[in-house]
């Protein structure tokens, strides 16, 4: 714009300098008009310059604001990134702690499951002990019946064992196992401290199976049952028969020791006749 202004002034000067003749009225008018146009152009140029300067200032202000906004945004982004980093760290720590807690909880649950399984197994065993399945009354398989009865005897299911041994003796009374079955009937009562019921069962063994290998034990337990049911005289007789029939056996030695330790019987109090 400044170049255009200089060019206009230079043009006027050249016209004035190159004119050697006096200016006519027409020429004066043209010169005045040209000067007016130059002045107008100068004003336009000044206005344009002011406008340009004003626009430049506005643009500069806008650019400054944009830069400031960018700086603020960058700072906010940095703070956000830092916050996110701390949050991720906290989440990671919390996740690690949570995983450890879950692991410990699983271990406790597994231990609890194992304890529950053991309790269930014990309850099942107790249920089997106190349950009374149907007793077989047939005589098809003696070995199986004897095995089932003996298993119940070993587990302490004495009532069930008695019923099964009785059925075995009924079906297979002439076999060698029948004597053993009869002994276990008496011993099942003996182990339940039912000494009164044990005595006749041992008597049956002594009477019906005189060659059985358990006779010495059966006679000792019969004598002991008599002693514990206040039948001392009969008990002493059984102990002496045992010592004579099976001398040197553990049962005979034990019977001798029991008799030796028995307190002397009190003499019977005479009954005074009524007057």
> When comparing pLDDT for 150 and 31, which is higher?
150
Tens-place pLDDT, residues 35-91 = 777 677 777 767 766 765 666 566 567 667 755 766 666 677 577 667 756 766 775
CATH number belonging to domain 169-261: 1.25.40.10
Mean pLDDT estimate for the chain? 78
pLDDT of residue 5: 47
pTM of the shown model: 0.50
Tens-place pLDDT, residues 220-274 = 999 999 999 999 999 999 999 999 999 999 999 999 999 898 888 766 566 666 6
Geometric angle at alpha carbon 196, from 191 and 199, rounded to 5°: 80
- Provide the pLDDT confidence category of residue 12 given band limits of 50, 70 and 90: very low
């Amino acid at each position: 714009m400044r170049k255009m202004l200089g060019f206009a002034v230079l043009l006027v000067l050249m016209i004035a300098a190159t004119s050697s003749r006096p200016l006519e009225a027409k020429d004066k008018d043209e010169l005045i008009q040209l000067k007016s146009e130059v002045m107008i152009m100068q004003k336009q140029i000044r206005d344009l310059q002011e406008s340009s300067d004003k626009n430049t200032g506005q643009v500069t202000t806008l650019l400054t604001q944009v830069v400031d906004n960018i700086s603020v945004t960058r700072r906010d982004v940095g703070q956000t990134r830092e916050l996110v980093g701390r949050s991720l760290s906290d989440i990671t720590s919390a996740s690690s702690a949570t995983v450890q807690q879950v692991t410990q909880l699983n271990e406790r649950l597994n231990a609890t499951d194992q304890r529950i399984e053991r309790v269930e197994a014990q309850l099942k065993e107790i249920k089997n002990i106190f349950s009374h399945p149907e007793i077989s009354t047939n005589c098809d398989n003696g070995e199986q019946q004897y095995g089932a009865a003996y298993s119940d005897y070993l587990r302490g299911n004495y009532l069930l064992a008695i019923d099964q041994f009785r059925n075995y003796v009924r079906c297979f009374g002439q076999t060698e196992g029948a004597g053993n079955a009869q002994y276990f009937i008496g011993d099942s009562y003996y182990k339940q401290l039912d000494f009164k019921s044990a005595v006749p069962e041992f008597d049956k063994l002594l009477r019906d199976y005189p060659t059985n290998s358990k006779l010495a034990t059966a006679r000792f337990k019969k004598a002991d049952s008599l002693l514990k049911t206040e039948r001392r005289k009969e008990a002493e007789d059984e102990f002496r028969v045992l010592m004579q029939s099976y001398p040197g056996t553990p049962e005979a030695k034990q019977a001798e020791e029991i008799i030796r330790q028995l307190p002397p019987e009190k003499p019977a109090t005479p009954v005074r006749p009524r007057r």
